[in-house]
Structure 1
């Protein structure tokens, strides 16, 4: 791993940092955790880096140990990706997102195209037909934001461990029916964002759930909210409520009005 993870050090600011391939990472304190700040091709020694050298952000972790675990996982990903032998090329082809401006060949019949605005995988007829029916998209185009996960689940040997974990999470959260068909079991609400959302909608189908909110000028210290039954925006009936600023925490799926505590607001 040493050729990829060049090592750790302390920046001129005294912050833990690491060089991983072409990327540099600095552990910048952020609230109760550490922000994973990143920069590309930082050529100077680590002890000359400063926070001004990194502009990217890859999330927040708990502490320096978690920072080290993150960059070491990145190093493993880069090593595995290099071993897969993907090839960069140009293929003049029209995609659903525009003309291809660059292509990465993962294997025969599995090509990732990039365009000026978006991109995604193209599977040839043989590769597409071999996918599990629950994963398959007619035509063989799989966009890069979500559908790519279908390709990674269908052809795991072509992807790194990190990519496979991301694909599994993507499918669990956003395409649980497909995940369940492939794996032969149901997902719980704790395992899938969509299943959790469905549970929330069932439990609060008859409750008023906020669909819009703004800080109140008429009632300082409160938020003016607009709510619909079950949070359904396709329903015509709306009601307005006042909620105290310090209480209004949206949560994962929405804020539920308590009719015994939250005051109705006249339109």
Structure 2
């Protein structure tokens, strides 16, 4: 159990996490220090807050102000979510210190660009940082251990998503936090492989790619919005351009509709037109590219 910061802004240390110090900064926002990193929950106008950080703030937490913090590291619903992120960060840093990763300068070319820094996780498993887009390189032997449904024949795994394949294959080289993130990525982007390997069927909401495929199948014959903007000619309405199944192709039919602005929300995969409520529109358009065209 974590202890709330006391009313007089004195720091509170969390039992079981001796390296975590909670407090409140001078502006009244919750803050926590983990070694040389200080995290704060700064407010958003729409409610909730976002995670910000500061480096090597040595003084009392109560003396810090919002000006000491920078970056935007994700939204937070409330203070409980902030504390959860802090403890997760502490866990990650503690486990990271126990891993024998070796960082070194390595001058070499990679399919992802020139390497600027390399981290050796273990023999045959190297992560490269490049100017634009880094990733992992596996030796032939290491790559042979990757499941065939996930294996990259070129032995390179980019840092956006494919890194999770390396983590899944060699979990002992990664922290609990990294393993949780990797599992989320695999479920999102390689659902067929995840289901085949784990034997677990992903239900709606557990995989972005699987949910998108289901959406596309369910709405293949529906008009799905591909462009939208507030109408200059009809106040309170959103003018949209839609295609069957939301296809983006110059050769497919496009149709315009007017949707109440209060009703229009993009959603995860697109806004589906309800033809019983949203009539096709062929009047003056707010889309410059639509000049001279009309609805079918």
- What is the distance in 2 between the residues matched to 1:42 and 1:140? 41
| Equivalent of 1:251 in 258, 267, 272 | 267
Q: Deviations over 1:21-75 (max 9, x none)?
A: 3321112233342322222333332112111221212222232222112101100
Q: Give the alignment's Cα RMSD to 1 decimal.
A: 1.6
Q: Deviations over 1:102-146 (max 9, x none)?
A: 111111111101112121001011100111111210121111001
Show the counterpart of 2:65: 50
Show the counterpart of 1:85: 100
Runs of 4+ in 1 over 4 A off after TM superposition: none
Count the aligned residue pairs.
Answer: 266
Pairing of 1:1-267 with structure 2 (within 5 A) = 4-5=19-20, 7-30=21-44, 31-234=46-249, 236-266=252-282, 267=294
**Contact 1:12 1:49 (C-alpha < 8 Å) held by counterparts:** yes
Give the secondary-structure state (helix, strand or coil) at the position aligned to 2:160: coil
- What is the distance in 2 between the residues matched to 1:117 and 1:177? 29
- What is the distance in 2 between the residues matched to 1:85 and 1:161? 15
Please, what TM-score do these two structures have when normalized by structure 1? 0.94
Once the two structures are TM-superposed, the CA of residue 2 in structure 1 deviates from its matched residue by 5.0
Structure 2, unmatched stretches of 5+, are 1-15, 283-293
- What is the distance in 2 between the residues matched to 1:217 and 1:65? 43
Flag the structure with larger Rg.
2
- What is the distance in 1 between the residues matched to 2:17 and 2:47? 31
Once the two structures are TM-superposed, the CA of residue 3 in structure 1 deviates from its matched residue by 6.0
**Contact 2:41 2:76 (C-alpha < 8 Å) held by counterparts:** no
- What is the distance in 2 between the residues matched to 1:198 and 1:49? 48
- What is the distance in 1 between the residues matched to 2:33 and 2:147? 40
- What is the distance in 2 between the residues matched to 1:160 and 1:255? 39
Please, what TM-score do these two structures have when normalized by structure 2? 0.85
**Contact 1:135 1:154 (C-alpha < 8 Å) held by counterparts:** no
Segment of structure 1 superposing worse, 15-24 or 116-125:
15-24
Give the secondary-structure state (helix, strand or coil) at the position aligned to 1:130: coil
Segment of structure 1 superposing worse, 50-59 or 32-41:
32-41
Give the secondary-structure state (helix, strand or coil) at the position aligned to 1:80: helix
Q: Deviations over 1:229-265 (max 9, x none)?
A: 1111135101000111111111111101111111211
Show the counterpart of 2:5: none
Once the two structures are TM-superposed, the CA of residue 203 in structure 1 deviates from its matched residue by 1.2
Give the secondary-structure state (helix, strand or coil) at the position aligned to 1:58: coil
Give the secondary-structure state (helix, strand or coil) at the position aligned to 2:23: strand
Once the two structures are TM-superposed, the CA of residue 173 in structure 1 deviates from its matched residue by 0.7
